[in-house]
Structure 1
Amino acid sequence: MITKPATKYVPFRPFKEDYSDRTWPSKSITKAPIWLSTDLRDGNQSLIEPMNIERKISFFEQLLKIGFKEIEVGFPSASKTEFDFTRKLIEDDYIPDDVTISVLTQSREDLIRKTIEAVYGAKHAIVHLYNACAPSFRKIVFNMNRDDIKQIAVNGANLTKDLFAQYSDKTIWQYEYSIEVFSSTELEFALDVANTVIDIFQPTATNKLILNLPATVEASTPNIYADQIEWMNRNINNRDNVILSVHPHNDRGTAVASAELAIMAGADRVEGCLFGHGERTGNVDLITLALNLYTQGINPELDFSDIDEVRRCVEHCTQMITPPRHPYAGDLVFTAFSGSHQDAIKKGMSLQKTDAIWEVPYLPIDPADLGRNYDAVIRVNSQSGKGGVAYLLEREYGLVLPRKLQIEFSRAVQRFTDKTGREVTAEAVYNIFKSEYLDQNSPWKLIRHRIDGDPQAAEAKHFSVEAEIECSGEKRIIHGEGNGAISAFISALGLPARIMNYHEHSLGSNTNTRAACYVELRIDHNNSVFGVGIDRDIVTASFRAVLGAINRHLKSEKNLNNICRFAIGVIFPSITSID
C-alpha cells in the first residue's frame, strides 16, 4: 500500500455544487419495495460453475415459494443453455399467472431480437436493456463520446418498442432500461439518457417503464448514492409512470445500506440476490434487506419462515457456502459465547411472552420466526459465563439452577474450557454437572430412609427420620428429629450444618416425573456449597442433595476433615480415615 493514496485514488463527486436540499434523511421506510430476484442471471453468471437447467428450475421454484413476483431468469441471447431454460419455463408452464419473468440483453439488434424470441409466449415479461454510460467506460471500453453512448440507448429502445408491438398477441411486455454504472456517471448525462428513453416509450399508469439506476460498482458512501437517487427521482420525466429501481453491488460492503437509503430517497424497486450472490463482492442481499424490514415491523412480502430450507436450496444450486455469520441465516448468527451476552439472552428468553413485543437482548429477531430453533442461541466456550451454562442445562435437560448455583457451577465449566481450549456442547456441560453434583456419593451415600411426622403438628420437633447410610463400604442406621424432613436428616448425621437455600422443581411429566432439589449447605463457619439430588421421590432427592453438599464440602474445605471425622466416627467407629 502506498503512503499517499490520494495520488492514486480520488473520491467520487456526483454533484458540481453542494447538494444541500436533500430530504431523504428525514424519511423512513414504511413498506416493502417491489422485489426482483436476479439470482438466475446476475447471481448465476458469477458462479464458478453456473447452474444447469435442473438446478435453475429448483432455484426458480424456491423463489416462487418465497413469494417473488418478478424474477430475472437469464440472459437468453448469451448461450443456448440460457435460451433453452427460458423457453422451458414458458413451454412447461412453470410461471404462475401473477409472476413476471425478466430477461436481460445488451442494446444490440441481434441480441434484442433473440431475447424477444426467447421470452415470447410468457404471459408477463420484462425486457431489460442496458448500456454503460460512465466516463471510464466511454473512454476505455468503447472509445465513444456522450452522443454515441446515448444513441445506443435510443436505438435499443426504439427497436424493442417496435418488437413489443409485433409480438403483443400472447405477451404483456414491460420495458426496463438500466444506465449501467450509474453510480459513476455524471448526473446530468444520466438524466439526459433516461429522459430520452422515457420519452420514446411514453409509459402509462397501466404500463409503466422501469428505470434502473444501479450501483454497478460502489463508488461512494451510501448517503451519496441516496443523493443521486433523490436527484434523479425529482428530475426524470413522467415520474408517476416510471418505476424507479436500484441494483446495488457490494464493492464497499455497504450494498444493504445503499439500498435502504435509496428507498428512502424515492426508489420503488430493488434488484438483488439471495445471500448477496453476484459478481465480485456480490449484489445486495435481499434476505438481509427483507428481514431488516421485518424487524422494524414492516411486512417484507417475502416468506423466510424456513430460512434453513432456503439456504439449503441456494447452497445446492450455487455450490456456494453461506458464511456462519451471514445475517439472519448463518449458523452462528443466533449464537452467543460471551458470558454477559448469554446471561442477558437467558433472562430475556425467560421473560418473553408469546405474541408480545420482542425484547430479548442481543437478538433483533425471534429465531422461531425464521424456522430456527434455540439450539444454537447459546454455546459455551472459555468466554462463556453462568447464563450460557444455565441456559443449556435448562433447555436440554430441564435443570433450572438457582442463580447462586449458576455462579458456582460456571467456575467448574470454566476450569474445563480453560484446560481444553474447546467449545463444550450441552451434553458436555451436563456431564460436568453430573460429575460435580449428581455423582457425589463418597464418603456419604444414602441407601434408604423412612420418615414419620405430621407437617401440621404443633410440636417443635414433629419429624423423625430413620435412614440407612453407607460410608467406605460400611452401612449403619441413623435416627434424627427436626421440624422438617431435611433438618431431621441433618440431625441424624450429627453435623453442625444448616441449610442456607433450598430450591426444588419437577423434571419431566406424567409417569416420568422426577424431582430435582438444590441445597445450599454450610457446615459450621465454613463456606457454603451446593448439593443436587434427583429422584422420583422429593424427600429422597433432598437427602441426596444434602449428602452431595457434604461430600463436596469435604473436597473443598480441608478444615472440615476434623468435623466430619468426628461425625463419621460417632456413626462408624471402625472408620479411621475419610481421605
Structure 2
Amino acid sequence: MEQKTNTNLTSYYPSIQEMIVPGQGLRTPPKSPFFMDVTLRDGNQALRKPWNLEEKEIIFKQLLKLGVQGIEVGFASASHQDFEACSHLASLAPENVAISSLSRAVEKEIDLSWEAIRKAPRPRIHIVYPISDFTIRNVLGLTEKQVKENIIRSVSYARKLAGNFGEVQFSGEHFGDSLENMEFTIEAFQAALDAGADVVNLPNTVERYRPYLFVAMVRKVAESLPQGTNISVHTHNDLGMATATTVESFFAGAVQLETALNGLGERAGNTNTYEVAIALHNCGVKVDLNLQAIYETSRIVSRMSQVPIHEKAPLIGEDVVAHRSGIHQDGVSKTKEMKKGAYRAFDANLIGRPEGDRIAFTSQSGKSAVYEILNQSGISISKEEASKLQPILKALSEQSGGGELAIEEIQEELEKMRLLPNLDQ
C-alpha cells in the first residue's frame, strides 16, 4: 500500500541546504531579534515574594545595562502598587526602549495601562485576549464572532489612546493551543492589525507539545499576515523546551522575542533570555545585547528573587564549565587556546563569567587533568610526571568513592612521588 505524504503544517523541516549560505556559514534572518523582557511582569508575578518598588528599579536598571529593546514593567491595573511601579519605571526609561504594561481587553484597564506608562518616551499598551478554540468555549463561553469583536473593540480603543505617539501590542492568549482553529486565529490577528496593533504576539501560554509544532504554527501565521508584520513569541517552559521553541520561532518569522532573566515566570518559567541570546549568537545572528552583563545579571536576579541557580543551569550554573571525564579533559587541554573548544559550547568571557573551562580530578580523570590542574595552579609539572601521578591520584580518589580531589591533595601526592627516587639511594 502506497504511503501518503503528510502535508499538514507540522510536516516541513528546513533542509541543511536551506540553513547554510555556501562559503559564508549559517543563514540568518535579515533583522536582529528585538528582546522584550517580561521579568518585571510575568517573572515578578510568579515569585513567592514579589518585588517592591525599590527592587523593581534595581532589576529595571540592570535590564537597561543588559541592553534589552523592550521592558514590560508590569500589569498596571492589577493593583495600586503595580500601577505606581509602572508609572515610576516609565519615567526612568530612555528614548530607545519600549515600555509596556499588560492589560486585559477591558477599557478601564486599558485606561490604567496608558495612564501608567504614558510618561515613557516609547510607551506600549499590551492587550491580551484568548483565541484558542478550547479557551473560547470553556473559559470565555463566547462565539468566535464575539471574540473577534472584542479584539477589534479593545485594540481600537487602545489605538485611540496611544495615537501616533504610543504603540499597541495584541497577544492571542493560548495561541499554542490553537491548532484546531488556525483559520480563526489568523483572522483574529489580522483583525487586531486592522484595528491598529503594531505588534501581534503568539504565546505558548502552556507548553504541551513538541517545539516544532509551535514553530510551524508561527510560520503559518507569518506567511498568512502581510509581509513586514511585527510578529512576537512568548513561550513558557512547562516541558523544558521554551528556549528551542523561541530560537526556532525567530527563524520562522518572529522578530520580537519575549524572555525573562534567569527564566523566571509562571510554573516552570518563561524562556530564558541568556540561553536564547547565546544560541542565536552561536548561529551567527547579530544579537544587540550587552552579553558581557549576563553572568552579573544572573547573580543579581537570583539573589533578589530568592530563586537559586541550579549548578547545571546552562551558561550560568556553577558546574557547567567543569570537566571531569578523562576524554573530555584531553579535548579541553588540546583546544584551550582555540576559539572553538572541543567541549566548550560558549566562551565564558562572552557572558562576563570570571572563569572558563575548569578541570577537576576524579576517578574518571586522566593525565591531561593532572597536567592542567597543577600548571593552572602555578605548580610546574612535566607531562611525564603527570602520566606517573595519574594512577596514584586515581587510586586515592577511588578510596573515597571516586570523588573530586582538592588541589592540596594533588600537590601532596606530587611531592610524595618526587621523593620516591631518593629512597633508592
TM-score, normalised to structure 2, is: 0.90
Deviations 1:214-252 (A, max 9, x none): 11112321211121111111111x332x20111111122
CA distance in 1, matches of 2:112, 2:397: 63
> Offset of 1:24 from its aligned partner?
4.9
Change (3 A) 1:76 1:333: same
Q: Does 1:146 align with 2:144?
A: yes
Point out the structure with the larger helix share.
2
Task: Give the aligned partner of residue 281 of structure 1.
Answer: 268
What is the correspondence of 1:27-106 to structure 2 with a 5 Å cutoff?
A: 27=19, 28-30=27-29, 32-91=32-91, 94-106=92-104
Amino acid at match of 1:435: K
Q: Does 1:549 align with 2:421?
A: yes
Task: Give the aligned partner of residue 524 of structure 1.
Answer: none
Q: Is the 8 A contact 1:66 1:304 kept in 2?
A: yes
Task: Give the aligned partner of residue 8 of structure 1.
Answer: none
Change (3 A) 1:144 1:262: same
Task: Give the aligned partner of residue 23 of structure 2.
Answer: none
Q: Is the 8 A contact 1:24 1:265 kept in 2?
A: no
Of 212, 227, 240, the residue aligned with 1:239 is: 227
What is the correspondence of 1:276-315 to structure 2 with a 5 Å cutoff?
A: 276-315=263-302
Task: Give the aligned partner of residue 399 of structure 2.
Answer: 419
Task: Give the aligned partner of residue 372 of structure 1.
Answer: 353
Q: Is the 8 A contact 2:65 2:293 kept in 1?
A: no
- Secondary structure of the equivalent of 2:324? coil
Task: Give the aligned partner of residue 155 of structure 1.
Answer: 153
Q: Is the 8 A contact 1:58 1:317 kept in 2?
A: no
Q: Does 1:194 align with 2:174?
A: no
Task: Give the aligned partner of residue 174 of structure 2.
Answer: 181
> Offset of 1:306 from its aligned partner?
4.2
> Offset of 1:279 from its aligned partner?
0.9
Q: Does 1:216 align with 2:213?
A: no
- Secondary structure of the equivalent of 1:283? coil
How many residues are paired up? Answer: 407
> Offset of 1:20 from its aligned partner?
7.8
Q: Does 1:121 align with 2:145?
A: no
Q: Does 1:257 align with 2:244?
A: yes
Task: Give the aligned partner of residue 333 of structure 1.
Answer: 320
CA distance in 1, matches of 2:355, 2:61: 28
Of 3, 6, 9, the residue aligned with 1:19 is: 9
Q: Is the 8 A contact 2:60 2:89 kept in 1?
A: no
Change (3 A) 1:362 1:151: same
Amino acid at match of 2:79: S
Deviations 1:503-547 (A, max 9, x none): xxxxxxxxxxxxxxxxxxxxxxxxxxxxxxxxxxxxxxxxxxxxx
Q: Is the 8 A contact 1:23 1:265 kept in 2?
A: no
Unaligned runs of 5+ in 1: 1-15, 204-208, 441-547, 555-563, 565-579
Q: Is the 8 A contact 1:304 1:310 kept in 2?
A: no
CA distance in 1, matches of 2:356, 2:343: 16
Change (3 A) 1:305 1:179: same
Amino acid at match of 2:53: I
Give structure 1 regions of 4+ aligned residues with deviation exceeding 6 angstroms. none
Change (3 A) 1:21 1:336: closer
Task: Give the aligned partner of residue 498 of structure 1.
Answer: none
- Secondary structure of the equivalent of 1:284? coil
- Secondary structure of the equivalent of 1:247? strand
Q: Is the 8 A contact 2:10 2:216 kept in 1?
A: no
CA distance in 2, matches of 1:344, 1:413: 20
CA distance in 2, matches of 1:272, 1:389: 41
Change (3 A) 1:342 1:262: same
- Secondary structure of the equivalent of 2:291? coil
Of 394, 398, 410, the residue aligned with 2:390 is: 410
State which drifts further: 300-309 or 39-48.
300-309
Q: Is the 8 A contact 1:229 1:266 kept in 2?
A: yes
Amino acid at match of 2:32: A
- Secondary structure of the equivalent of 2:125? strand
Amino acid at match of 2:90: I
> Offset of 1:368 from its aligned partner?
2.4
Task: Give the aligned partner of residue 24 of structure 2.
Answer: none
Change (3 A) 1:84 1:24: farther
Change (3 A) 1:195 1:308: closer
> Offset of 1:98 from its aligned partner?
1.5
Q: Is the 8 A contact 2:201 2:231 kept in 1?
A: yes
- Secondary structure of the equivalent of 1:305? helix
Q: Is the 8 A contact 2:9 2:220 kept in 1?
A: no
Fraction of identical pairs, as percent: 27
- Secondary structure of the equivalent of 1:232? helix
> Offset of 1:255 from its aligned partner?
1.1
> Offset of 1:97 from its aligned partner?
1.6
CA distance in 2, matches of 1:49, 1:225: 32
CA radius of gyration, larger in: 1
Task: Give the aligned partner of residue 388 of structure 1.
Answer: 369
CA distance in 2, matches of 1:306, 1:109: 39
Deviations 1:317-355 (A, max 9, x none): 211111111111111111111111112111211xx25xx
State which drifts further: 276-285 or 134-143.
134-143
- Secondary structure of the equivalent of 2:195? helix
Amino acid at match of 2:352: G
- Secondary structure of the equivalent of 2:166? strand
Amino acid at match of 1:549: P
Deviations 1:469-506 (A, max 9, x none): xxxxxxxxxxxxxxxxxxxxxxxxxxxxxxxxxxxxxx
CA distance in 2, matches of 1:263, 1:24: 14
Change (3 A) 1:298 1:268: closer
CA distance in 1, matches of 2:380, 2:232: 53
Change (3 A) 1:20 1:248: closer
CA distance in 1, matches of 2:169, 2:81: 23
Amino acid at match of 2:145: D
Change (3 A) 1:48 1:68: same
CA distance in 1, matches of 2:89, 2:146: 37
CA distance in 2, matches of 1:18, 1:366: 40
Change (3 A) 1:18 1:370: closer
